Amino acid sequence: MPTMNLSRYLAIHAEPSLASLLESVARACTGISMALGQGALAAGVLGSAGSENIQGETQKNLDVLSNQMLMDAVTASSTVAGMASEEMEHIYALPATVPQAPYLLVFDPLDGSSNIDVNVSVGTIFSVLRAPTHAAELSAGDFLQTGRSQVAAGYALYGPSTQLVLTLGQGVQMFTLDRQRGEYLLTQESVKIPEVTAEFAINMSNQRFWEAPVQLYIQELLNGKEGVRAKNFNMRWIASMVADVHRILTRGGVFLYPVDSKIRQQGGKLRLLYEANPMSWLIEQAGGAASTGRESILDIMPGSLHQRIPVVLGAKEEVSRVIDLHRA
């Protein structure tokens, strides 16, 4: 039985308000995990909420519920000056405190929500940034920081077990929720992604809409042993980024959600601040790479809160190959 729990880990590796912020996120994730576990037994967990979010997507009941659980738990921790979420058009600024709360939290409360009603893994993604030191009222502009400015990032995966995967910039650690004790135990330290892989993840149904470099790359993989890559590749697509990234952190692989002609206007599918940035930092911290195909995701200065971008992340060798094909 592992002896290091999340609280102890944070007491050693994070300053007290960061530890308290992350513990409040973990508490909310335990609540979300319990609601998900109830499934069809609880009223108002499954199904649609009958509303749309700012991205024009139908909100599921659990999108709304998990957003609220995170907001409530983190507000109570008094460690953030504000929060932003996939499910909220505008930032939420907390009443000013003296001394000012040191952090900002951005999150995707429920990632892969199309999977809830079919009882397939979903997750929560979060990223911690520093709050501004100016005295002016908090604005959306204060959240527009590159992924390199993240102080902490991680996700909770609600699968057969619930896991919390975290980086504070000192490698990637995986914790597993002990449901009896209600605490997260450290179950894997310093996670490393193998540089080489034979597994890729992409939504193949978009193939005809992709740009030429992605078409070429995937064709190379599909050509297998007989092609330039001279090996056969396997494919997986869970349609929950958290679950796909977790597989890559666990056994390797490469994940792509490229921009395509259907979504060119919006710049991509995945959101920079609360999907691409935290996942890219985790991947880099585990020895992998993350790029749009043209630039490093973590170096992008966001232009808006809900900005979307193309995402290629995972095994270094594969990400480099995609970048080379974009240069050619």
Q: Which residues bind ligand AHG (CB under 6 A)?
A: 57, 86, 108, 111-114, 203, 239-241, 257, 269
Q: Which stretch binds Mn ion (CB under 5 A): 78-86, 115-123, 246-254, 294-302?
A: 78-86
User: Measured between alpha carbons, how far is 300 from 7 in angstroms, rounded to an integer?
Assistant: 32
Nearer to ligand AHG (CB atom), residue 67 or residue 77? 67
Contact flag: residue 111 with Mn ion (CB under 5 A): yes
Q: Which is nearer to Mn ion, 108 or 318 (CB)?
A: 108
Minimum distance from CB of 11 to Mn ion (Å)? 31
- 148 phi/psi in degrees, rounded to 5: -70, -20
- Asked whether position 86 contacts Mn ion by CB under 5 A, the answer is yes
Nearest to ligand AHG of 112, 293 (CB atom): 112
- Shortest Cβ 143–ligand AHG spacing (Å): 18
Listed ranges 81-89, 226-234, 244-252, 289-297: which one lies at the site for Mn ion (CB under 5 A): 81-89
Q: Taken in order 285, 125, 161, 176, is the CA torsion positive or negative?
A: positive
Which amino acid is located at 208 in the chain?
R
Q: What does the alpha-carbon distance between residue 42 and residue 187 come to, in Å, rounded to a whole number? A: 30
Q: Using CB atoms within 10 A of its CB, is residue 61 exposed (0-12), middle (13-18) or buried (19+)?
A: buried
- For residue 94, the partner it binds in ligand AHG, Mn ion, none, with Cβ less than 5 to 8 A by kind, is none
Q: Which is nearer to ligand AHG, 18 or 62 (CB)?
A: 62
For residue 244, state whether it binds Mn ion (rule: CB under 5 A).
no
Residue 135's CB: how many other CB atoms inside 10 A? 7
Count residues near Mn ion (CB under 5 A). 4
What, of ligand AHG, Mn ion, none, does residue 203 touch, CB below 5 to 8 Å by kind?
Answer: ligand AHG
Nearest to 191 by CA among 299, 312, 273, 314: 314
Residue 325: what are its φ and ψ, rounded to 5°? -65, -30
Residues 6+ apart with CB under 8 A from 170: 13
- Cβ count near 114 (within 10 Å): 13
CB contact at 8 A, 154 and 167: yes
Residue 260 contacts Mn ion per CB under 5 A: no
CB of 314 to ligand AHG, least distance (A): 13
Question: Which residue, 111 or 142, is less far from ligand AHG as judged by CB?
Answer: 111
Give the shortest CB-110-to-Mn ion separation in angstroms: 5
Residue 3, classed as helix, strand or coil, is: coil
Closest to ligand AHG by CB, 9 vs 281, is 281
User: How far is 249 from 315, CA to CA, in rounded Å?
Assistant: 9
- Which amino acid is present at 50? G
| 240, interface contact from Mn ion, ligand AHG, none, CB < 5-8 Å by kind | ligand AHG
Tell me which residue of 264, 273, 269, 265 sits closest to 305, measured CA to CA. 273
Q: Is 108 in the site for Mn ion (CB under 5 A)?
A: yes
Q: Which is nearer to ligand AHG, 193 or 238 (CB)?
A: 238
- Asked if 245 and 255 count as a contact pair (C-beta separation under 8 A), the reply is yes
* Residue 306 beta carbon to ligand AHG: minimum distance, rounded to whole angstroms: 11
> Which residues in this chain contact Mn ion in the complex, by CB under 5 A?
86, 108, 110-111
